[in-house]
Amino acid sequence: MTKDSLLQRIEGKREELTDLTCELVRIPTVNPPGDAYTDCARHLGKRLKERGFEISYHRAEGSPGDTDRYPRTNMIARLEGQSPGPCVHFNGHLDVVVAGKGWTEDPFAAVVKEGRVYGRGTCDMKGGIAASVIALESLLEEGIPFPGAIEFSGTVDEETGGYGGVAYLAKEGYFSKPRVDHVIIPEPLNVDRICLGHRGAWWAQVETHGRIAHGSMPFLGDCAIRHMSAFAELLEQRLYPALDKKQTKMTVVPEGAKKSTLNIQAIHGGEPESFEGMPSPCVPDSCRMVLDRRFLIEESLEEVKAEVRELLDELVRTRPGFRYSMQDIMEFHPTMTEGDAPVVKAVEEAIGVVLNTIPEKIISPGTYDQKHIARIGHLHDCIAYGPGILDLAHQPDEYVVIDDMVKSSQVMALATLNLLGVET
């Protein structure tokens, strides 16, 4: 029977799957700045070309961060089936976040031990990329005739908004019908869960303005940091309690993310210390606060922005000298695929076969590239499903469990056949 032989073939590729993950981790695609993107894209492109895929490279020229030193190189691999039919697409982001401190292993050595691969990007999401590539390759090796097409894309900049990656390709029509019908993004949401979408995000900078003066005579100036602290106080008293009361019907995990959230990402104020920490004796004329607001499908972006603006306008009316400006940095709407969409059903069924369990259908607290596929590509049959453990993403000593990679690869292969309409 096709199904058993396919599952066995993937099980037999345990080592190959581990090796591919290690190869990818050893290409340090750290973003920012967007290092080694071309090397990583070409590594996958070369491999898939040898297996019969048609490969194209797409540099997102002019996108944020794109330079000749750091080109935003994306790769698409496509293989046509024997007859017309739907296209199943796997999309993985090649970039990883900075390693940061606290590692006990070299983050780019890809150390394999105790059934895990350790390294930056193992979980988020090179393990998922390797699992999907092995799934597609195994389908081909089985020699099962299929209609339609299968695609894989390795894209960049997901960690910084995806403008030079999926957003760019979506604008070029690569994530729309009739080219593509179903998309699976192997982000680390755990091997036995299906992620239907994500909350929205609004990043903004608020700046309070003051007047510079000598630090010994602050009464001659106007302190922008004191103005900012008045705003921070209002956030504490009014906005945080209000956000705490907003609860979504979306099945967001973890539990805390079912509420609306606000992170004060940074505060910058006053003159920078010029040398050895000696401060400049000045009244600060500027203070900036960077907000990271995550919102729910029940909220609109307009009301999210208005909540903050109302507090600032209140201070303009009530606090002498209060002046501010506000600037959007980034905004993404929440997105959610229907729980009974074809790709959801196909993956759910495959999880039942491989893991013998009914998957939880969740929503991610943070955004990922699905937003661009939904809003630019207008394609709504899209989910995230992959082997990594969500909590390990972006952490020191990040790892992926090899057994999870094998299982998720089997799920992806079975789901692909199902979506292409091949009987197993």
Please report, as ranges, the residues that interact with Zn ion according to CB under 5 A.
124-125, 187
Question: Which listed residue (66, 95, 192, 369) is catalytic?
Answer: 95
Indicate if 66 belongs to the active site. Answer: no
To the nearest whole angstrom, how small is the minimum distance from the Cβ of residue 124 to Zn ion?
Answer: 4
For 362-395, give one letter per residue: b (16+ CB within 10 A) or e: bbbbebbbbbbbbebbebbbbbbbbbbbbebbbb
* Burial call 241-275: b when 16+ CB within 10 Å, e when fewer: eebeeeebebbbbeeebbebbbeeeeeebbeeeee
C-beta of 148 vs 186, nearer to Zn ion: 186
| CA–CA distances in Å: residue 12 to residues 5, 6, 406 | 10, 10, 9
Closest approach of Zn ion to the CB of residue 388, in Å: 8
| Residue the block writes with tokens 């606090």 | 319
Q: Give the nearer residue to Zn ion in terms of CB position, either 73 or 160.
A: 160
Active site residue 340: no
Q: Which is nearer to Zn ion, 311 or 412 (CB)?
A: 412
- Provide, rounded to whole angstroms, the least separation between the CB of residue 120 and Zn ion: 12
SS3 for 260? coil
Give the nearest distance from C-beta 310 to Zn ion in angstroms: 34
Token pair recorded at residue 410: 């089997």
Q: Which residue is nearest to Zn ion (CB)?
A: 124
Q: Quick one: which H or E segment has residue 152?
A: strand 147-155
Nearer to Zn ion, 137 or 187 (CB): 187
User: At closest approach, how far in Å is the CB of 393 from Zn ion?
Assistant: 6
Q: How far apart are CA 260 and CA 277, in angstroms?
A: 38
Residue nearer to Zn ion on the CB measure, 285 or 369: 369
Cβ 385 to Zn ion, closest distance in Å? 13
If the CB atoms of residues 27 and 224 are measured against Zn ion, the closer one turns out to be 27
Question: What residues does 262 pair with on adjacent strands?
Answer: 293
C-beta of residue 174 within 8 angstroms of C-beta of residue 57: no
Do 30 and 96 meet the contact criterion of CB atoms below 8 Å apart? Answer: yes
Query: β-strands 200-209, 116-118: how paired?
Result: unpaired
Pick the catalytic residue from 151, 157, 158, 398. 158
Whether residue 7 contacts residue 134, with contact meaning beta carbons closer than 8 Å, is answered with no
Distance CA 212, CA 270 (A): 9
Judged by beta carbon, residue 97 or residue 326, the one nearer Zn ion is: 97
- The secondary element (H helix, E strand) that includes residue 230 is helix 224-234
**Min dist. Cβ of residue 128 to Zn ion (A):** 8
The structure tokens listed for 378 are: 């207008």
Give the residue numbers annotated as catalytic, written as ranges. 95, 158
